[in-house]
C-alpha cells in the first residue's frame, strides 16, 4: 500500500544551496514524482501545471510570482487571525520581564525566522507594539519573499529590515527569536536542532507560533483555506500544514534544550480547540520564568513546562 506522507508543494518547488544561499534549479518531473510517491496525486497535478522550460526545469520567476501571491493570501489569514495581537499578548510580558532583569539593558532585537513577506515584523513596526527599544528583523530562506518583504516595508515607510538566511544558521543575533507557521516545516529531529541553535546563541528567549495540533485543525484548515485562498497551491499547503503540526509532547521535548526552560502556551486540555488555531512554544532563560509569569498575570496559568506531560513515555514521534 502507498505510504501517505504530507509534503508541501512550496517546500519542493524552490531549492537553495545551504552553503552559499544560491538558488538551485528544480526539475518539475522530479517534484511530480515525489508527490506521486507520497500518495498525493492532486498535488502532483498542481505542479505538473506549473511553467517549465524545454529541459523541464521549473521557471524560477513564475515560481517566485506564485509564492509571493500565495503568501499575500497568507498575510490576509494572519490579519484575520490577529497574529500580531496574539504575539504581543506574550511578547509584551516577555519584554517586560527582560527589561526588569537588570542584567540586560536595551536596545533589544527581535528576529522573525521564516518571515515570508514579513507581515508580523511590518505589523510590529507599524504599531510600535513592543516599544521603541526593540529592533525588528525578518529572516527567510526564500530570497524572492525577502525582497518583497523589503519592498513592502519601504513602501510603508517602516523601520525594520529583512535578511536572506537559513533558520539553522541564524544570520542575525537576537534578544528574542520568533516565528509563525514555520515549525511544521521541520521534522521532530530538526526541530530540536532549531531550538538548540537559538539556545546556544546569546538570545534570552524564543517564542515560535504554529498550528495547534488539535483534532479540529485539519478540517478547520480545509474550511478556512478554501474560503480565503484562491490558488490551489495555497489551499493544498494550508491543509497539509495542519496535518503536519507538531503535537504538545513533540514541541515540549524538542524545546527542552540546555540553557532554556521550555514552556508551551495553551496545551491540549487548557485550550478550546475552536479558538486555539495557533499557539506558541517558548524557551526562556530560567531566571526569566518568574518575572514572565508575573507580567502575564492570570494568563500564566495557560503556560506549562515539560512536567505537564507526566513521566516520559518514550521518544516523541510524528
Ligand X SMILES: C[S@@+](CC[C@H](N)C(=O)[O-])C[C@H]1O[C@@H](n2cnc3c(N)ncnc32)[C@H](O)[C@@H]1O
The contact set with ligand X (CB under 6 A) reads: 74, 78, 113-116, 119, 140-142, 145, 166-168, 180-182, 185
CA-nearest of 236, 241, 238 to 50 is: 236
What's the rounded Cα separation, in Å, for the pair 129 and 115? 18
For residue 177, what are the β-bridge partners? 111, 206
Q: How far is the CB of 115 from ligand X (least distance, A)?
A: 5
Q: How far is the CB of 301 from ligand X (least distance, A)?
A: 27
Q: How far is the CB of 254 from ligand X (least distance, A)?
A: 15
Shorter beta-carbon distance to ligand X: residue 88 or 115: 115
Q: How far is the CB of 293 from ligand X (least distance, A)?
A: 27
Shorter beta-carbon distance to ligand X: residue 114 or 218: 114
SS3 category, 278: strand
SS3 category, 23: strand
All 3 cell numbers of residue 199?
Answer: 539556545
For residue 293, the surrounding DSSP H or E stretch is helix 289-296
Shorter beta-carbon distance to ligand X: residue 114 or 283: 114
What's the rounded Cα separation, in Å, for the pair 250 and 218? 18
Shorter beta-carbon distance to ligand X: residue 97 or 242: 242
Q: How far is the CB of 258 from ligand X (least distance, A)?
A: 22
Long-range pairs, 49-56, Cβ under 8 A, ≥24:
50/13, 52/28, 56/27, 56/28, 56/29
What separation in angstroms does the CA of 262 have from each of 23, 178, 283? 35, 14, 5
Q: How far is the CB of 182 from ligand X (least distance, A)?
A: 5
Shorter beta-carbon distance to ligand X: residue 182 or 252: 182
What separation in angstroms does the CA of 292 have from each of 166, 193, 282, 300? 29, 25, 11, 8
Shorter beta-carbon distance to ligand X: residue 90 or 295: 90
Q: How far is the CB of 129 from ligand X (least distance, A)?
A: 17
Shorter beta-carbon distance to ligand X: residue 34 or 166: 166
Which residue reads 495555497 in cell numbers? 234
Amino acid at each position: 500500500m502507498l505510504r501517505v506522507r504530507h509534503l508541501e508543494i512550496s517546500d519542493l518547488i524552490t531549492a537553495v544551496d545551504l552553503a552559499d544561499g544560491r538558488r538551485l534549479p528544480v526539475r518539475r518531473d522530479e517534484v511530480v514524482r515525489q508527490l506521486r510517491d507520497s500518495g498525493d496525486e492532486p498535488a502532483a497535478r498542481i505542479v505538473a501545471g506549473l511553467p517549465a522550460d524545454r529541459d523541464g526545469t521549473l521557471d524560477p520567476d513564475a515560481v517566485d510570482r506564485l509564492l509571493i501571491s500565495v503568501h499575500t493570501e497568507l498575510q490576509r489569514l494572519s490579519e484575520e487571525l490577529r497574529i500580531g495581537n496574539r504575539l504581543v499578548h506574550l511578547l509584551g510580558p516577555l519584554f517586560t520581564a527582560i527589561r526588569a532583569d537588570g542584567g540586560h539593558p536595551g536596545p533589544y532585537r527581535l528576529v522573525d525566522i521564516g518571515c515570508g513577506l514579513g507581515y508580523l515584523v511590518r505589523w510590529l513596526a507599524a504599531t510600535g507594539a513592543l516599544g521603541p527599544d526593540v529592533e525588528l528583523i525578518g529572516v527567510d530562506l526564500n530570497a524572492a519573499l525577502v525582497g518583497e518583504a523589503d519592498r513592502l516595508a519601504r513602501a510603508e515607510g517602516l523601520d525594520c529590515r529583512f535578511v536572506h538566511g537559513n533558520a539553522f544558521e541564524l544570520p542575525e543575533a537576537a534578544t528574542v527569536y520568533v516565528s509563525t507557521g514555520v515549525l511544521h516545516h521541520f521534522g521532530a529531529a530538526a526541530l530540536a536542532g532549531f531550538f538548540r541553535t537559538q539556545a546556544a546563541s546569546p538570545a534570552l528567549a524564543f517564542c515560535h507560533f504554529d498550528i495547534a495540533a488539535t483534532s479540529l485543525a485539519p478540517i478547520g484548515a480545509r474550511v478556512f483555506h478554501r474560503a480565503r485562498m484562491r490558488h490551489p497551491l495555497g489551499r493544498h499547503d494550508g491543509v497539509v500544514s495542519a496535518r503536519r503540526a507538531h503535537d504538545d509532547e513533540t514541541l515540549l521535548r524538542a524545546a527542552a534544550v540546555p540553557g532554556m526552560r521550555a514552556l508551551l502556551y495553551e496545551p491540549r486540555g487548557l485550550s478550546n480547540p475552536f479558538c486555539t488555531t495557533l499557539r506558541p512554544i517558548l524557551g526562556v532563560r530560567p531566571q526569566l520564568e518568574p518575572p514572565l509569569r508575573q507580567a502575564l498575570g492570570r494568563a500564566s496559568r495557560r503556560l506549562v513546562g515539560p512536567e505537564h506531560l507526566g513521566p516520559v513515555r518514550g521518544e516523541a514521534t510524528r
